[in-house]
Amino acid sequence: MMEEELDQPIRVGDYTFRSRLFVGTGKYSGYDVMREAVLASGTELVTVALRRVNLANPNEPSLLDFLPSEVTVLPNTAGCYTVEDAVMVAELARATGIGSLIKLEVIGDPTLLWPDPVLTLRATEKLVGLGFTVMVYTTPDPVLARHLEEAGAAAVMPLGSPIGSGQGILDVEAIWRIKERVTRVPVVVDAGIGGAADAAVAMEAGADAVLVNTAIAQAQDPVAMAQAMQWAVKAGRQSFLAGRMPKRPTAVASSPETGKVSHA
C-alpha cells in the first residue's frame, strides 16, 4: 500500500488530514457503536451537532467522551435556519474551547434539509470575519461555491443528494464544475452518500474528500460499513490520481435517416 503514502494530505485552514473521509455522529443506535465505527473509518475529522452535545450536566455522559482522542472535533450548526442562530452556535462551540473550526449549515427547508444559498453566503462572510475556519455545507452550485471560496471559506461542501436520502451523487459532473471554480480550498462532498460505491464515485470524480454520516450509521452493520467507506475513499482518490480511461461510446449517435423530414 505504498502508493497511499504518496498522496498529499488534505489541508483545511491550519489543519491537515491524511484521511479524506470525514464522518458524522448522528443517527447511531448508541455511543459505543458510533465509537467503533469512527475507529473503523480511519477518519481524523468528526462532526458533531452542538445541540446534541451535553454541555449542561457534567455528570452525565457526553457524546464527546466516546470519540477517540486523536480525532479533530468539527462542531456543526445543524438545525440553524438563520444567520444569527448559526453564528450563535458557532460562538458557543468556540467558547467551549473546541477551537475555531466550524461546519456551517444554514438550512432553508425543514424537509429536505437543503441549504439556504443566500443565508449560507452571508453567514460564511460573518463567521470568517469573526475568525472562524469555516467548512460550509452548500448546494451543488458552481457560482455559489466560488462566492463561498471568495468569502473566505476553508472548505466548500456541496451536497451529492439530499441529506439522509442515500441517493448518491445525482450529478457527477457538478463536482468537477465546482472544482474548476474553487481552486484554493478543498471541495468536500457532503450529504447523499448511501453506500461505499457512492463515496468512490465522488472521489473518482475529483472531490478532495467526502463527509459521510447516515450511510454508516444506518447500515445494517455500521462498523463494517465504516471500514468499507475507508477503502472506497482511498480507491476513488487513487483512481482519480491514476487517471482513468475515457468512456467510449459503442453506438453511433446519428443515422442515414436523420434529417430526412422535409417541409416545402
Instruction: Find the binding residues for a second copy in span 66-85 (CB under 8 A).
Output: none
User: Which CB atom, from 44 or from 198, has the smaller least distance to a second copy?
Assistant: 198
Is 133 among the annotated ligand-binding positions?
no
Q: Considering the complex, what minimum distance in angstroms separates the CB of residue 111 from a second copy?
A: 8
The answer to whether the beta carbons of residues 36 and 227 sit under 8 Å apart is no
User: Which CB atom, from 69 or from 183, has the smaller least distance to a second copy?
Assistant: 183
* Cα–Cα distance, 69 to 158 (Å, whole number): 28
What three-state secondary structure class fits 8? coil
Q: Of the residues 103, 126, 179, 234, which is catalytic? A: 103
**DSSP 8-state assignment for residue 244:** P
Q: Is 103 a catalytic residue?
A: yes
* Cα–Cα distance, 193 to 204 (Å, whole number): 14
Residue 146 is a binding residue for a second copy (CB under 8 A): yes
Question: Which residues inside 201-220 make contact with a second copy, applying CB under 8 A?
Answer: 201, 203-206, 214-215, 218-220
Residue 110 is a binding residue for a second copy (CB under 8 A): no
Is 79 among the annotated ligand-binding positions?
no
Q: Considering the complex, what minimum distance in angstroms separates the CB of residue 196 from a second copy?
A: 4
Q: Kindly give, in sequence order, each residue whose CB lies less than 8 Å from that of residue 204, ignoring residues fewer than 6 positions away.
A: 236, 237, 239, 240, 244
Q: Kindly give, in sequence order, each residue whose CB lies less than 8 Å from that of residue 194, ignoring residues fewer than 6 positions away.
A: 165, 166, 167, 168, 214, 215
Q: Which has the closest alpha carbon to 135: 65, 201, 190?
A: 190
Question: Which residues inside 218-247 make contact with a second copy, applying CB under 8 A?
Answer: 218-225, 227-232, 234-236, 238-247
Amino acid at 31: Y
Question: Which residues inside 147-176 make contact with a second copy, applying CB under 8 A?
Answer: 147, 161-162, 164-168, 170-171, 173-176
Q: Which residues are annotated as a binding site for 1-deoxy-D-xylulose 5-phosphate?
A: 164, 191-192, 213-214
